[in-house]
Structure 1
Amino acid sequence: MRNVIVTDTPRADIEKVDKLAEYGVATVHEALGRTGFLGPRLRPVHLGSRIGGTAVTVVSWPGDNLMIHAAVEQCRPGDVLVVTTTSPSTDGMFGELFATALQVRGVRGLITEAGVRDVTDLDAMGFPVWSAAVSAQGTVKATAGAVNVPVSIGGQQIRPGDAILADDDGVMVVPRADVDRGLERSQVRLEKEEATRAAFREGELGLDRYGLRAKLAELGVEYVTAEEYGL
């Protein structure tokens, strides 16, 4: 890995990212063909937040938050800090002091494969965090890493400036070039879901709306009475 801090990276249009976030992670993920989800390990420290923003990426060594300090300087309003480590780590690399510095710069939240601490303070501040762990284990500031380089979390590549969406369902990335497509397809999916919701409220069954009775028959599923089954 090259130890660099890349400055002035291009970012997705923040107004479009804001609109995309309104649809929610689950809807956008489905609309884009079930791609971009960073996996179930990343969970919100506190429920109830929904954010969208542009990625500032960090590669740190386990138990070392030096490069997070370096990344703060590169953050702009509307950004989301995305932190990964060179090998697995659950140390509490981020806490209330970092959140204070990022809030002043207009950063909307943190996504990290590592751990965080000061969770009560983070909640009181209203600073959203999605992490793989909560840990009081402290860190050092000793090893070079990188800022604003492509990273991988949960098998998904995240490039600086990509759109990051996060809510209670998890976190996903939408490549900068796919934001417009995400908006179009998410609106189509939302309208489809609204029509289905209305049908369900009228009593229609998913078996009929989705044409699943034929699928059951195709798979050899039989309808039998309790007596026929021997109950």
Structure 2
Amino acid sequence: MSLPLKDQNALRLYAVVAANLVAFFALQRSGALAAGDWLGAFDDWQSAAPAALGLIFIGILNAQVDALTKARLIYLRINDPLPGAEAFTRWGPGDERVDMSALAAKFSALPITAADQNRLWYRIFKSVESDAGVEHAHREYLFTRDYAFLAALMIPILGLSALFSFPSAGHAALYSAALVGQLILSARAARHHGRRLVCTALAVAGARTEGPRAAVPA
């Protein structure tokens, strides 16, 4: 039996956290590293302990927060933030793989309101979630969504740690800007994969309404 998708992504998320901790420590000890004093750079490794503890806290918090809250961060919407909320008015019609006519024939009048769109899309998704393309898109969406949420939490925790432990305020400011950039890029990736998930599920469902077809590309 295969692991749940979130468990499959766990190792990748651990790698994200580890990479951020390594980057934090390297920048914190940049003076010693630049001087070639590699052993000296590790003499004061305890100074990175607050950042490490902060990252552990972030990992624990990430597991406690629900999907709706994470989607609100990704899509910057309070109401109906899930990607399926625009499945039939925006994403489906804009994807050439999706046969909107076939979907309309199967489900009668396609919904217009965000809540109704998300409900119908979720029904469709559950009927095709075992498809390889849908599963891949779902896994990537969950990974990038959780990555973006982690990145958002890293800004105050690692940013403040940098302010008090980096060689200068300038170093801390540049590092904080990099953390913001990480959030922007990961959130953008999550939105892309969310749209891909919605459209791939619709494409597979539309193809199935008309009998056997070639596999829908993810």
**Normalised-by-shorter TM-score class:** under 0.3
TM-score (norm 2): 0.25
Higher-helix-fraction structure: 2
TM-score (norm 1): 0.24
Higher-strand-fraction structure: 1
